[in-house]
Structure 1
């Protein structure tokens, strides 16, 4: 292997030649795509790559389907965490060969409880009752919220004066990569000591039998000033979680 002996310090790749920090010089090795695609020794690698690609695309489909509520509450590692969760769901496919496993509707309940913002889980932010109901026959879905005392049952960040509950349902076809979704939110509700009665958020969405339903519920926070509601500068305290699939 060649070694750099001159006084000129070069690091990186120049014209296909790699200059290492330790002074060594070597030719950059090109990728052998045909070997990757055909070599028997690369079979496991090809299978893993295929399934990670499927997990990533499935996660993106869920994110796109719920994008309006996901935009309100997510952390910087959410994309990779969701892909890992979808990979777990792929692993539950016992019928397909390795490398070709898919997201099957019967395995999707594993997604329930996934928090889009790892730093603010719904279960530790909103302590009121959340009961989703799905009715495929009529396309009438709902999220039922129980009675609660906001000052006691909502873990609000400093500076927040109001909160809002967001709910969404998406019908997702993991085979075709298509989706439809409906979102609904409460008004901005005061973080006071007055007991708030139970209410139901309606989510009407007719879904074909071959599409999976995913329901997410979240909470975000506002500060009221001069009669206007301003979202807090950081959504680090906003929460969003998958609460049901069907």
Structure 2
């Protein structure tokens, strides 16, 4: 790397030299690295191409899942959810024992028990884990998607953030096929409760089970609000909201 001392300031590439502006002024360096053409065609980079293809597939699979539940997770996610989900998809892809290297698929790995287990319990907001927030036991009917807590007392059964006065709870079932990109999400009506000592039979039932030939993801979401003058406001823009994949079938 060298400094450029000239009355003419250049940025860009010229004759194999790259000119750019850095903290120390205008700098110049020689063009290096392997060309994209060589990576695409040289047999020496076959493993690089295979890894790149599978990484791209895992990224796409994570994006498909996020988009499928975009409205549900909009206020219950952290800023690293994309990369964390891609890592999980990569582990699931590795469970595809039938496809050749470079062509292994998330959809094939996910049908294995190990694949389902790899994503079960995934938290979309690692700043607010459902397992830390919800202290009550609940049941899940996988034939209807219904989640029920027989004796739910918010002040006892939650670890609410400071300032929260109300809580909203909802469940969802997503059928998603990573081989065809088909998806269907069904969400229960939201139950909103004050965080007090009132006992409630909390029942969350989606309007129907989703339609599709893919895998069923069962989701549970908890969101906190603060009431001011009769109006409920999201607490800290949803920073304390939890959304978890509680079951995969």
The normalised TM-score by structure 1 is 0.86
Change (3 A) 1:6 1:95: same
Larger relative CO (CA 8 A, sep 6+): 1 or 2?
A: 1
Residue number in structure 2 paired with 1:182: 186
Where do 1:6-17 residues align within 5 Å?
A: 6=5, 13=12, 15=14, 17=17
The answer as to whether partners of 1:114 and 1:241 remain within 8 angstroms in 2 is: yes
Aligned with 2:134 (options 115, 122, 126): 126
The normalised TM-score by structure 2 is 0.85
Gap runs ≥5 in structure 1: none
Residue 67 (structure 2) pairs with residue 64 (structure 1): yes
Q: CA RMSD in A?
A: 2.6
Residue number in structure 2 paired with 1:161: 165
The answer as to whether partners of 1:182 and 1:203 remain within 8 angstroms in 2 is: yes
Note the alpha carbon deviations across 1:99-149, whole angstroms, 9 max, x for none. 1111222223321110000111000011122332222xxxx3222234232
Residue number in structure 1 paired with 2:247: 244
Residue number in structure 2 paired with 1:100: 103
Gap runs ≥5 in structure 2: none
Residue number in structure 2 paired with 1:116: 124
Q: Distance in 2 between matches of 1:191 and 1:34?
A: 61
The answer as to whether partners of 1:145 and 1:200 remain within 8 angstroms in 2 is: no
Residue number in structure 1 paired with 2:52: 49
Aligned with 1:150 (options 133, 147, 154): 154
Residue 220 (structure 2) pairs with residue 217 (structure 1): yes
